Chains A and B, each alone.
Chain A
């Protein structure tokens, strides 16, 4: 299967404000690839470098060294993001817009033909169960509704790759289940999903492969069932072992 997300020797250094001129290493020599049709879990404790990797993939941060590619296009080129959908951890949308205006705006950014836009908006708002609130400003939405509006905007271009940054964070169990169902449905449609999460039970349920990052380094990568077999424990315990957590007796 072709790799549609490829990271090669990625290194990211940040300048720290405390000591002028000194740098902090966020990622060192990261190599990773995600194949078409996979659901890939990107795991790691806070500060491991997950967000930095996401930021590089989305073009927010330029790598110090190495490269990242989406569909064989370097992420430094905006066109690399033509076939991806991104759902951030928290909802950051124009609150004065309604859900359908927001989707129409992003559809224009993707240059989706006008004739197709309205039918896509209708379909997506039904999918995320926001059809009844489509004409209300986003500021009047509950947190779960805002997250679902976020999911709809991530799908507006019918992406082949979805980047989800802790998509169920802060949602109630019902909201989580809905998001999980949508991920499963996308997987069945042959879409590729790359998502970071701290919910290891959820990752174990939906992911084909995972990568575990710790202190900017890739510590483990493989199929979920193989890792579980290799370490002879569930994914949560695999994770704790890989990051070197010692349980106090």
Chain B
């Protein structure tokens, strides 16, 4: 565990020493602040739209941080050849990968805590409430979703030849699942065989990232989701994370490094 945490520590250290992370972070914070502060014709309902837009911004920023950070981990280790002195130590390849995953996931988690805390504070100035449990549920689910995406991107970084290709493909896959994943079964019903079976299989195989999207609940002040469903969704996310990481271990174990 110590070895995994050591690798994770280096990932986090690298992230906070990079300038692009701060640029994205400050941009999101600034836009949230500006939107949270505007007042159109004293219309209180406008707050709902602003919340929706700010949350969308947080989702996009967090996804960009998660995908770009995870995508460069293994390729950068190979390109800079830092993988060689690292693997010359008593550390297995699966520990390196798990450390990379843990580092990216923790970094994404820290970014989410800051984003949601900032968003909550800005909204609290308008609505005079700070529903901690709602924000915790939304942030937690968001973090689990990012865990799946990071594990998927790490797998992609071993299979695909360049980080750019990986980033592009993973953005398309993640956004595709978020936007159309839930409708695949309805589409399959209207199709002929064998396309119908293929789309149905796809519907059951893909990780349904949309399960983790609780933005509407925050925007419309809906009641909390029952905690048992949060627990089930967490297990669902962990199962997909495990599958993607196991796939990565299997491929990385046999991967030639030079």
Q: Does B198 contact A (CB under 8 A)?
A: no
B6 touches A108 (CB 8 A): yes
Q: How large is the interface on B (under 10, 10 to 19, 20 to 34, 35 or more residues)?
A: 20 to 34
B84 touches A108 (CB 8 A): no
1/0 per residue, CB under 8 A from A, across B81-108: the answer is 1101111111110000000000000000
Chain A residue numbers with a CB within 8 Å of B81 are: 88, 90, 92
* A101-B87 Cα distance, complex, nearest whole Å: 18
Q: Closest A residue to B91 by CB, please name it.
A: A109
- Cross-chain contact of B9 among A60, A105, A110, A153 (Cβ < 8 A): A105
Contact assessment for B14 and A96 in the assembled complex, using a CB-CB cutoff below 8 Å: yes
Q: Is the CB of A108 within 8 A of B13?
A: no
A108 vs B87: C-alpha distance in the bound complex, in angstroms?
A: 14
Whether A60 contacts B2 in the complex (CB less than 8 A), given A78-B91, A109-B89, A109-B90, comes out as: no
Query: Taking the complex as formed, is B80 at the interface, i.e. its CB lies under 8 A from any CB of chain A?
Result: yes
Assess whether A175 is interfacial by the CB under 8 Å rule.
Answer: no
User: Is A86 touching B88 in the complex (CB atoms < 8 A)?
Assistant: yes
A-contact bits for B1-13, CB 8 A (1 contact / 0 none):
0110110011001
Across-interface contacts of B17 in A (CB, < 8 A): 96
B90 and A110 contact, CB distance less than 8 A: yes
Q: With A and B bound together, what is the CA distance between A78 and B86 in angstroms?
A: 11
- Cα A58 to Cα B17 with chains together (Å): 30
Q: Is the CB of B13 within 8 A of A111?
A: no
Contact of A96 among B3, B6, B13, B85 (CB under 8 A): B13
Is B23's CB within 8 Å of the partner chain A? no
Contact with B along A30-68 (1 / 0, CB 8 A): 000000000000000000000000000011110000000
Q: Which residue of B lies closest to A80 (CB)?
A: B90
Within 8 A of A (CB), among B7-57: 9-10, 13-14, 17
Q: C-beta contact mask, B122-159 vs A, less than 8 Å → 1, else 0?
A: 00000000000000000000000000000000000000
Would you call B89 and A81 a contact (CB within 8 A)?
yes
Q: Is the pair B10, A105 in contact by a Cβ cutoff of 8 Å? A: yes
14 additional A-B residue pairs with CB within 8 Å, beyond A86-B88, A92-B84, A106-B89:
A58-B88, A59-B88, A60-B87, A79-B90, A80-B90, A86-B85, A92-B81, A105-B10, A108-B3, A108-B6, A109-B89, A109-B90, A153-B85, A163-B88
List 26 interface pairs A-B (beta carbons < 8 Å), by A numbering. A58-B84, A58-B87, A59-B87, A59-B88, A60-B87, A60-B258, A61-B256, A86-B85, A86-B88, A88-B84, A88-B88, A92-B82, A92-B84, A93-B82, A94-B10, A96-B17, A101-B13, A105-B6, A105-B9, A108-B5, A109-B6, A109-B86, A109-B90, A110-B89, A150-B85, A153-B85
The residues of A with any CB-CB pair to B shorter than 8 Å are 58-61, 78-82, 84, 86, 88, 90, 92-97, 101, 105-106, 108-111, 150, 153, 163
Residues of B within 8 A of A (CB): 2-3, 5-6, 9-10, 13-14, 17, 80-82, 84-92, 256-258
